[in-house]
């Protein structure tokens, strides 16, 4: 079993194991980011760069956590899940709904995360599993995902209304870290995001389940041959994708302070960008990609008006797909 | 409101016609070329804004600005295609939707495009024509609904586009498109320039999007960016799958059915607020996409043999 896992998660025989292979890429990426920060410090001053870096890390949390589920689902099932962004919205709105019942915000968020995970699992059972059995075409998967996205978003809107909604938390208090300022809630988001990213990364690297998921995302047929119960693993992937999406949604709501039912769909392209940047199908890649996008969008405000932030994300997405469609962590395999 | 309110149904007919023209372009791409174009609303946005800005900012007459807008949108289609047509089908879809969102953000935020206030005042010539036509219609007893000339214009254009696309599809050009959809490599092996054909398909879709955008602009009287969000494209896909794949006639049927269904909801007297009724419309669109894709992917008039799209 263990040997089978190694074979499934690793590169072809003789090549070094993937985990070690990706460490230099991560180091290179970190070096590029640090170099960029230093260069920008000369242009705009270290304080401004530090402040935007801090802001960027706040949004990196939800981008990275959202992108992990998206990339795992694509890696294993070849579904470009347009409904993934709306799972973020679902997580945030379930949190509001549950806290309206009397639970404090963060415990409510935990319940919402669990609920969204179960919903994602159930959707696999109702929709995706039958479609897998029927071996449907790419186009059908696309249309179902789009339809599901619309149904989730407008069901939320049906019950909660389309208006902008505050998170009902203290969004005014801020903390000072030396010369930098951060909202207290955002600082909490930053901490939760970093801890969650680290936890997901470690779980993928060292737990049995994490190895199985990476093996599956790498090559489903090979993983199946090696004795991994793919059906069980696929359902676990949906649980994880749903749960992390909901957590990302809650973090987004807390970081921004208010949401509307469209926010998940607006972030979706950012999540795609993170997934593509990291090499679609690669979970570590998605985590790293989320951090890069978060930083790049905030750093762009040093040079352009804030309102162009989303365009920076889309532009990175298009450039990456055109120039480097396998991403930074995608490895040498041709995916077609 | 009474079920027999003429103004209301004329309005529904106009919207159905606009979706019909818009979706004919999607059908050409998706149903006949195998391109998953998710940026159709972006092309429509480029075309409609180009027309509006040429009239309002540059003072061009509408009759000149409209063809110029088509040229600009086709150029945008060519640009997107040149950059991204070599990608896999699903990546192409993502690039086109990203293009569509970039376009929307740019028009929303750039100083030259009026931002969220949008563009207004491009339709004086059309209004003049419309009131002239309404007087003539009133003379023969058809004057009750003010928007009848627009309805006639939209549907005449839709049927014209439909006939033209059908003729194209029967031509050698149309057969090559189908060959590309079925097997790109085989078509290339026969010496067909697959890339050029795909580019032409995308360009024609962009032109159709602009024509739809023109009528949309005349119907709503002012242009603002959120009219062109990706939901419009998704609505188009619902029309497409409802009517049927690889069937231009199906597009017309799908557009009429979907618009009648979503607009007709308001006669059910559901105890819902206006916002909830609006949400319900979209939920129905989403359910149509899911259920038809799962249970009858070829749609009402499509043929199953023609929709084996490969990624």
For the segment A49-68, what is each residue's pLDDT rounded down to a tens digit?
888 998 999 999 999 999 99
Q: Is residue B311 part of a domain?
A: no
Tokens standing for B8? Answer: 């209301």
Q: Is residue A49 part of a domain?
A: yes
Q: Is residue A161 part of a domain?
A: yes
- Give the DSSP letter of residue A16: P
How high is the ipTM of this complex? 0.87
Tokens standing for A57? Answer: 């890390």
Q: Is A317 close to B289, i.e. CB distance below 8 A? A: no
Q: Is B91 close to A321, i.e. CB distance below 8 A? A: yes
Instruction: State the pLDDT at residue A335.
Output: 41
Q: Is B287 close to A80, i.e. CB distance below 8 A? A: no
Could you give the number of structural domains in chain B?
Answer: 1
Contacts of residue A323, Cβ cutoff 8 Å, sequence gap at least 6: none
Res. A140: pLDDT tops 60 = yes
Tokens standing for A3? Answer: 């040997």
Q: Is residue A288 part of a domain?
A: yes
User: Distances in Å between the alpha carbon of B87 and those of A114, B34, B94, B311?
Assistant: 37, 13, 10, 10
User: How far is A95 from chain B, CA to nearest CA, in Å?
Assistant: 21
Q: Is B226 on the interface with A (CB under 8 A)?
A: no
Q: Is residue B204 part of a domain?
A: yes
Average the pLDDT over B175-202 and give the result.
91
Nearest to A148 among B238, B282, B290 (CB): B290
Q: Is A322 close to B105, i.e. CB distance below 8 A? A: no
% of chain A surpassing 70 pLDDT: 90
Q: Is A125 on the interface with B (CB under 8 A)?
A: no
Q: Is residue B268 part of a domain?
A: yes
**pLDDT (tens digit per residue) in A147-168:** 999 999 999 999 998 888 887 7
CATH of the domain at B70: 1.10.3470
Whole-model pTM? 0.88
Res. A28: pLDDT tops 50 = yes
Could you give the number of structural domains in chain A?
Answer: 1
Q: Is B280 on the interface with A (CB under 8 A)?
A: yes
Mean pLDDT, all residues of chain B: 88
Instruction: State the pLDDT at residue B90.
Output: 81
Q: Is residue B1 part of a domain?
A: no
Q: Is residue A14 part of a domain?
A: no
Contacts of residue A108, Cβ cutoff 8 Å, sequence gap at least 6: A95, A96, A98, A99, A101
In three-state secondary structure terms, A45 is: coil
Q: Is A137 close to B95, i.e. CB distance below 8 A? A: no
B222 confidence band (pLDDT: 50, 70, 90)? confident
Q: A139 to chain B: which residues are within 8 Å by CB?
A: 30, 36, 89, 307, 309
Instruction: Give the count of Cβ contacts less than 8 A between chain A and B.
Output: 130
Q: Is A140 on the interface with B (CB under 8 A)?
A: yes
Instruction: State the pLDDT at residue A22.
Output: 57
Instruction: State the pLDDT at residue A6.
Output: 39
Contact A297, A313 (CB under 8 A): yes
Q: Is B288 close to A147, i.e. CB distance below 8 A? A: yes
- The whole domain housing A239 covers 45-323
User: How far is B92 from chain A, CA to nearest CA, in Å?
Assistant: 9
Q: Is residue A331 part of a domain?
A: no
In three-state secondary structure terms, A301 is: coil
The three state secondary structure string of A198-249 is HHHHHHHHHCHHHHHHHHHHHCHHHHHHCCCCHHHHHHHHHHHHHHHHHHHH
Q: Is residue B49 part of a domain?
A: yes
Q: Is A269 close to B98, i.e. CB distance below 8 A? A: yes
Identify which of A252, A283, A247 has the alpha carbon closest to the alpha carbon of residue A116.
A247
Lowest mean pLDDT among A200-204, A327-331, B52-56, B271-275: A327-331
User: Distances in Å between the alpha carbon of B139 and those of A52, B135, B151?
Assistant: 67, 6, 18
- The whole domain housing B212 covers 6-306
Q: Is residue A131 part of a domain?
A: yes
Identify which of A250, A220, A215, A287 has the alpha carbon closest to the alpha carbon of residue A69.
A287
Identify which of A180, A218, A273 has the alpha carbon closest to the alpha carbon of residue A18.
A218
CATH of the domain at A116: 1.10.3470
* Residue whose tokens read 């951090």: A291
Contact B288, B234 (CB under 8 A): no
Res. A11: pLDDT tops 50 = no
**pLDDT (tens digit per residue) in B70-85:** 999 999 999 999 988 8
Contacts of residue B261, Cβ cutoff 8 Å, sequence gap at least 6: B284
Q: Is A48 on the interface with B (CB under 8 A)?
A: no
Instruction: State the pLDDT at residue A15.
Output: 45
| CA count, 13 A, side-chain hemisphere, A237 | 33
Q: Is residue A170 part of a domain?
A: yes
Instruction: State the pLDDT at residue A225.
Output: 85
Scanning B27-66 for CB atoms below 8 A from A yields: 30, 36
* Residue whose tokens read 């990275």: A64
Res. B145: pLDDT tops 80 = no
């Amino acid at each position: 079993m263990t040997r089978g896992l190694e074979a499934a998660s690793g590169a072809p025989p003789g090549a070094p194991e993937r985990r070690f292979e990706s460490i230099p890429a991560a180091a290179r990426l970190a070096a590029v980011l640090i170099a960029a920060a230093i260069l920008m410090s000369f242009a705009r001053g270290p304080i401004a760069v530090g402040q935007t870096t801090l802001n960027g890390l706040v949004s990196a949390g939800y981008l990275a956590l959202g992108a992990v589920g998206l990339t795992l689902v694509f890696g294993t099932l070849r579904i470009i899940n347009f409904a993934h962004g709306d799972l973020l919205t679902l997580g945030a709105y379930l949190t509001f709904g549950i806290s309206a019942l009397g639970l404090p915000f963060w415990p409510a968020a935990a319940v919402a995360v669990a609920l969204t995970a179960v919903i994602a699992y159930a959707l696999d059972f109702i929709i995706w599993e039958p479609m897998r059995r029927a071996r449907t075409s790419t186009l059908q998967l696309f249309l179902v995902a789009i339809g599901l996205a619309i149904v989730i978003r407008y069901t939320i809107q049906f019950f909660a209304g389309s208006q902008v909604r505050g998170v009902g938390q203290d969004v005014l208090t801020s903390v000072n870290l030396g010369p930098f300022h951060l909202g207290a809630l955002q600082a909490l988001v930053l901490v939760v995001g970093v801890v969650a990213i680290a936890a997901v990364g470690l779980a993928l690297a060292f737990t049995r389940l994490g190895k199985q998921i990476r093996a599956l995302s790498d090559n489903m047929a090979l993983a199946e041959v090696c004795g991994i119960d793919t059906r069980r693993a696929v359902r676990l992937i949906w649980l994880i994708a749903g749960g992390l999406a909901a957590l990302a949604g809650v973090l987004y709501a807390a970081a921004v302070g208010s949401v509307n039912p469209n926010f998940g769909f607006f972030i979706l392209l950012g999540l795609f960008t993170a997934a593509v940047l990291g090499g679609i199908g690669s979970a570590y890649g998605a985590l790293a990609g989320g951090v890069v996008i978060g930083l790049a969008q905030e750093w762009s405000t040093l040079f352009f008006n804030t309102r162009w932030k989303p365009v920076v994300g889309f532009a990175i997405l298009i450039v990456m797909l055109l120039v480097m469609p396998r991403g930074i962590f995608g490895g040498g395999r041709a995916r077609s | 409101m009474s079920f027999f309110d003429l103004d209301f149904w004329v309005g529904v007919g106009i919207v159905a016609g606009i979706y019909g023209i818009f979706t004919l372009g999607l059908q050409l791409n998706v149903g006949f070329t195998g391109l998953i174009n998710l940026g159709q609303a972006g092309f429509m946005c480029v075309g409609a804004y180009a027309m509006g800005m040429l009239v309002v900012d540059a003072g061009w007459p509408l009759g000149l600005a409209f063809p110029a807008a088509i040229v600009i949108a086709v150029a945008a289609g060519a640009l997107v295609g040149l950059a991204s047509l070599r990608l896999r089908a699903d990546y192409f879809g993502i690039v086109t939707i990203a293009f569509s969102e970039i376009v929307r953000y740019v028009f929303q935020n750039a100083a030259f495009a009026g931002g969220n206030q949008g563009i207004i005042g491009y339709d004086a010539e059309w209004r003049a024509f419309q009131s002239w036509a309404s007087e003539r219609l009133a003379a023969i007893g058809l004057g009750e609904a003010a928007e009848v000339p627009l309805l006639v214009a939209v549907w005449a254009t839709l049927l014209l586009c439909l006939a033209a696309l059908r003729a194209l599809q029967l031509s050698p050009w149309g057969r090559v498109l189908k060959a590309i959809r079925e097997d790109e490599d085989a078509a290339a092996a026969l010496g067909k320039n697959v890339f050029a054909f795909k580019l032409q398909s995308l360009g024609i879709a962009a032109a159709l999007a602009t024509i739809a955008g023109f009528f949309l602009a005349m119907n709503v009287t002012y242009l603002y960016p959120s009219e062109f969000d990706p939901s419009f494209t998704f609505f188009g896909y619902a029309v497409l799958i409802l009517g049927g794949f690889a069937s231009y006639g199906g597009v017309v049927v799908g557009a009429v059915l979907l618009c009648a269904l979503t607009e007709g909801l308001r006669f059910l007297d559901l105890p819902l607020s206006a916002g909830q009724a609006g949400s319900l419309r979209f939920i129905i669109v989403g359910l149509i996409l899911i259920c038809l894709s799962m249970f009858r992917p070829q749609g009402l008039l499509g043929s199953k043999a023609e929709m084996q799209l490969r990624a």
